[in-house]
Amino acid sequence: MPAVQDMKKQKPVVLLVDKIHPTYLAKLERCARVVRPDAYDEESLAALAEKEQIDAMIIRTRGCVTEKILRASPNLKIVGRHGIGVDHIDIDAATRAGIWVVNTPEGSRVAVAEHTWAMILALAKNGPRADRAVRTGDFPFRERCKSIELRGKTLGVIGLGRIGTTVADIGKRAFGMNIIYTDILKFPAKEKRLGATKVTLKKLLASSQVVTLHTPLDASTEGMIGAEQLSWMRPETFLINCARGAIVDGAALASALKSGTIAGAGLDVFVPEEPPLDHPLMSCENAIFAPHSAAQTPEANLAYAEVVNDILLVLSGKAPKFPLNKIKRKK
């Protein structure tokens, strides 16, 4: 029995919680033994991690990385996020255990920025509603619902990271919009290039015709946009959320859309992840939705799979390229 276990451990073991691009799967399998779960709950993942004595773990959207799973993995050196958001990974617990956490910050930058603009334009030009009008012979729709022009309007960006900056850049260069932003950090170089101004959240919501969310989900951003914040917005404003569903209070947003507090919303993310058909947002005609698909492009999925590069760096005793924490390296 020990001989069999020794053979299994000739290569490091990587727990792959979800599928990745075949190119990087092949690269990973050349250097490691890849194991996959049959179930994604905490108990099942912890049991598999302990049984296989995993050295690394790659997680996408299914499952989570909790302290219990980390404790069950004494050989674990790195957790890789196939994507950007890490709200389902306990980074503090990983740091205490000396385990790297990495993601792929550039992976979906272009895909999500383009999707954001697809939603903005669909709302500004009444795209889906106009399509339905034509299909039902309702040409008088054009007299009831006018489109708006974006030139000269104010784009408020909440979170001026990689994606937020790309969205702002498109707004500035393509549509001549004025850019304001709010963030825990200040970005003087970006401000100069974009002609952007950092403002408070309240001022941003009160001043923008388009508000777009590109901030991570954490304790400081959960519920950031609720009934009070929506009341600060203009009746002609569109709200776009391609970040995380829990940043916005869905029930409050539905109420604001139905009362005319804001003009419309574009949502790629929800709470729960798959909202029920009787969710109050589903009856809002001035909202458009996507099934958390903003980053589902071949290019983004290939870029996300580059997390394998950091996994292999750490397994070879080197530091990762995109760490989200600072640790003392395990020997």
| Helix 109-124 vs helix 127-135: crossing angle, to nearest 10 | 50
Give me the catalytic one of 60, 214, 244, 306. Answer: 244
What is the C-alpha to C-alpha distance for residues 154 and 237, in angstroms, rounded to an integer?
10
Three-state secondary-structure class, residue 102 = strand
pTM exceeds 0.85, yes or no:
yes
List residues bridging with 65 in a β-sheet: 89
Cα end-to-end distance, the chain, whole Å: 27
Q: Is the pLDDT of residue 10 over 90?
A: no
Q: What is the pLDDT of residues 45-101, one digit of tens each?
A: 999 999 999 999 999 989 999 999 999 999 999 999 999 989 999 999 999 999 999
What single string gives the DSSP state of each residue in 255-308?
Answer: HHHHHTSSSEEEES--SSSS--TTSGGGG-TTEEE-SS-TT-SHHHHHHHTTHH
Backbone angles phi, psi at 211, to 5 degrees: -115, 125
What's the CA gap between 116 and 106, in Å, rounded? 16
Asked whether residue 315 carries a pLDDT value surpassing 80, the answer given is yes
Per-residue pLDDT reduced to its tens digit, 26-51 = 999 999 999 999 999 999 999 999 99
Which H or E run includes 28?
A: helix 22-31
Residue 182, φ and ψ in degrees, nearest 5: -130, 140
**Predicted pLDDT of residue 61:** 86
Catalytic residue among 33, 71, 88, 292: 292
**What is the Cα–Cα distance from 90 to 96, expressed in whole angstroms?**
10
- What pLDDT is stored for residue 2 in this prediction? 43
pLDDT (0 to 100) of residue 5: 47
How many CB atoms lie under 10 A from the CB of residue 184? 8
- Residue 244 annotated in active site: yes
Catalytic residue among 274, 279, 306, 329: 274
Task: Give 151-161 pLDDT, tens digit per residue.
Answer: 999 999 999 99
DSSP state of 246: G
234 carries an active-site annotation:
no
168-213 per-position pLDDT tens digit = 999 999 999 999 999 999 999 999 999 999 999 999 999 999 999 9
Query: Can 329 be counted among the known catalytic residues?
Result: no
Q: Which residues of 114-144 are buried (b: 16+ CB within 10 A; e: fewer)?
A: bbbbbbbebbbebeebbeebeeeeeeeeeee
Q: Domains of the chain (ranges plus CATH)? A: 2-107+299-315 (3.40.50.720), 109-289 (3.40.50.720)
